[in-house]
Amino acid sequence: QQASLESQLQVAALEETPSENEKSAEESQESERLRRLRLRQTQGTLCHEFLEAFSRHPLVAEKTLDALQPRWLKQLKRLGASVEEAHASCYKARQQLLTALSGDFAWIFDPQAEGAASELPLARNDKQEDEEFHSHFAVDRTLLYKGDRWIIDYKTAQQPE
């Protein structure tokens, strides 16, 4: 009876343990998910850098994006993007940027805007009981518009997969 119970426990343990193929498939899926996440993050960083530069200096958006595309493609491919993925990512980023720069909120990126700053460094001190905390961060964009102070944090929208 003891041997029967031990063999049942071993069978149950084997059934609960993922096979090497299942582990490999899960690891592969996780690796692919992380690769796609890095690609989206890089696309967001590239857009952020462009908006920062555009907000500081008058640029011709389309010509500048055309000039940047080879560098962007190289960066995306270096992170594991296929040629098709890299081109699709660059196209999507270009469309998002041109929409932002020509849409209802294009005034946000005006280099001559009143009180404007890009990547404005800020510091904050907090105290909790006897401990003091210091944090440093940067505001992506800030400016005065129609008498109001605007603080903008750039984000690229991504639909969940």
Q: Which pLDDT value is given to residue 28?
A: 83
How far is residue 141 CA from its own chain's centroid?
17
**How far apart, in whole angstroms, are the C-alpha atoms of residue 20 and residue 42?**
32
**How far apart, in whole angstroms, are the C-alpha atoms of residue 114 and residue 149?**
10
Q: Which pLDDT value is given to residue 156?
A: 75
Q: Which pLDDT value is given to residue 141?
A: 94
Q: Which pLDDT value is given to residue 35?
A: 84
The DSSP 8-state label assigned to residue 18 in this structure reads P
Read off the pTM. 0.72
**How far apart, in whole angstroms, are the C-alpha atoms of residue 117 and residue 115?**
7
Please name the residue ranges forming H helices in 57-141.
61-78, 83-102
Q: What is the mean pLDDT of each run of 10 residues along the chain (161 residues)?
A: 60 61 77 86 90 89 94 92 93 92 91 93 90 91 95 75 51
